[in-house]
A and B are shown apart, each in its own frame.
Chain A
Amino acid sequence: EVQLVESGGGLVQPGGSLRLSCAASGFTFSKSWMSWVRQAPGKGLEWVANIKPDGGEQYYVDSVKGRFTISRDNVKSSLYLQVNSLRAEDTAVYYCARDVVVITAAHYFDSWGQGTLVTVSS
């Protein structure tokens, strides 16, 4: 059974940083594209970033470019999101998800974690 378990969320002041983690099990992590998707309070889902199986390529939504960094450790079957220069609008539940790649650039998500809450407030 595929399991994705996020951790690392919390309350942080504007301008602060956090490192989110996602522990994966039940599938061959090193062969899977992985994503972070977030949901702000009262809002819909927003794809944030994803990373190629070997970690060699990363893609980001424009609003987080230069502030967030996605990475992975295939030995530990873990996905990470370093979030820096946080803003109030980054407040959200952050989900780890496994990508299904149909063709290049065509991704949807077949497994999700339960999320970790990041609250940016002074």
Chain B
Amino acid sequence: EIVMTQSPATLSVSPGERATLSCRTSQSVNSNLAWYQHKPGQAPRLLIYGASTRATGAPARFSGSGSGTEFTLTISNLQSEDFALYYCQQFHNWPLAFGGGTKVEIK
């Protein structure tokens, strides 16, 4: 079973700044990694799949990078609507697994 570790747990950022979120997997998942945004009371939203491909409708300020065991989600020029929880998910092995999440909050 692949263990997913996201860091930091909470990230305080000012609007207009850049946020860098990390996701680490306990074994290589190649590029089989997705990122989701989740706001309370709403449906989670796919942002990135294949480690770096933006999903339909995801703004260009969201970018993903990495492969193997180390991945990064970067949010440039943070907007008010970007303050939320972010989860990574590996789809390399069963069971499908999510990280514990990073909360991006207003500084």
Contacts and interface: CB of A to CB of B under 8 A. Distances in A.
B55 interface: yes
Contacts of A4: 43
Interface in A97-116: 97, 100, 102, 105-115
Interface stretch (B11-19, B60-68, B69-77, B90-98): B90-98
Contacts of A37: 44
A112 B43 contact: yes
Interface string B84-105: 0001010111111111110000
Interface of A: 4, 37, 43-47, 59, 61-62, 95, 97, 100, 102, 105-115
Contact of A110 (B55, B94, B96): B55
A112 B44 contact: yes
Q: Report whether over half of chain B's contact residues are helix, strand or loop; otherwise say mixed.
A: loop
Contact of A108 (B89, B95, B100): B89
Contacts of B87: 44-45
A100 B32 CA distance: 12
B55 A105 contact: no
Given A95-B43, A112-B45, A105 B93 contact: yes
Nearest to B98: A45
A47 B89 CA distance: 10
- How many of chain B's residues touch chain A, expressed as a range? 20 to 34
Interface string B37-66: 010011111100110000100000000000
Contacts of B21: none
Nearest to A47: B96
B43 A114 contact: yes
A44 B97 CA distance: 10
B34 interface: yes
